[in-house]
Structure 1
């Protein structure tokens, strides 16, 4: 099992890369930032309105759970969100590796909306969703564990495509390689994500303003986690599948 850099070292590299370039980092992450801020403000407003409405008798509590729609639209939003998040992750990974910031924040955000990425990432999203769904049917915990196992799938596809090795792999191979790569490292990723909890709470308390800096920071650290874990495993043309 590979020995990784510490959480502090991963974060330090991201902060060093962003130093003097936080504007670009924020620009690349602007859509998830806006989404997070609206979520915080929206949820707060919804809770306040609901409480007032219930107390004044304007809303019948028995009708609050009546809802038929949302599933299809929710899936579409989830897919689009995944595409944007993956594009951001790809752009940040390149930035962290080369030290060269993306020329355009907009192009960086929508990097996956291209011929080489869109369909493959969509297929990988569907495969991951199906796998995680069936694991969750067993119990919630196995589903969560498998989500960590498959968490590096999109990154692996990017590197294999760039190195030309994607021709020897099918879509299931990327999921399998992610599972193998994360063996023994799932808890490390969990703890790394947990280390941002305090900052996330503070960001919520500032009505989402803190997310302006926190989201680019988290996304950068997640990309750096993969960069450190995978190394040149998938960019090296000598890589061979062991299955």
Structure 2
């Protein structure tokens, strides 16, 4: 798999449709924000962010796929296309739980399982009829032999993450869409 090729396609997709990618980035940045304080108010805030992650993961994957395939019409129709919210929430909760349980055993198996389950939101976004267990199995099959490449893909964005930290998050308004678009390209390439 040619990481540079997928990144160049992702940059072109962002150039064509920056505003929808920016909306995806803003939602992702907001959701991924994690509070480290231990008081009760921050714990409730932290839990709400996890609930939002459960709710929006599949919808954001659907937006990324639509943008990558050039079938995007508007955020509302892509983000809220499916009516099976409970199934999507359960699926994302289960893959997070499975990865956490694998992480309890050792760190490396937890990381490997996180990558094995990483395409579940994309699979659910494309096929609303698939069961959760089948989506997990398909994701594991798709990532078989590619977990290291996906890990290296994440590492290739580390300088963007450092730049975002030094610019107080401003660089994330480009780097997050860039990451999402590149991941969508990887998924589309492996699933076709």
TM-score (norm 2): 0.85
CA RMSD of aligned residues (A): 2.7
Match of 1:111 in 2: 80
Choose 1 or 2 for highest CA Rg: 1
Gaps (5+ residues) in structure 1?
44-64, 232-243
Task: Work out the CA distance in 2 between the residues paired with 1:32 and 1:158.
Answer: 16
Match of 2:8 in 1: 12
Residues 95-115 of structure 1: per-residue CA shift (max 9 Å, x gap): 211x24332x3x267436x52
Q: CA deviation at 1:133?
A: 2.5
Task: Work out the CA distance in 2 between the residues paired with 1:66 and 1:24.
Answer: 35
Match of 1:81 in 2: 53
**Count of residue pairs brought into register by the alignment:** 192
Match of 2:166 in 1: 205
- Where in structure 1 do 4 or more consecutive aligned residues deviate above 6 Å? none
Task: Look up the SS of the partner of 2:21 in the other structure.
Answer: helix
Q: CA deviation at 1:72?
A: 6.1
Task: Look up the SS of the partner of 1:142 in the other structure.
Answer: helix
Q: Is the 2:57–2:92 Cα contact (8 Å) retained in structure 1?
A: no
Task: Work out the CA distance in 1 between the residues paired with 2:28 and 2:178.
Answer: 12
TM-score (norm 1): 0.69
Q: Which has the higher helix share?
A: 2
Gaps (5+ residues) in structure 2?
none
Residues 129-165 of structure 1: per-residue CA shift (max 9 Å, x gap): 232222122112211111111111121222233xxxx
Task: Look up the SS of the partner of 2:145 in the other structure.
Answer: coil
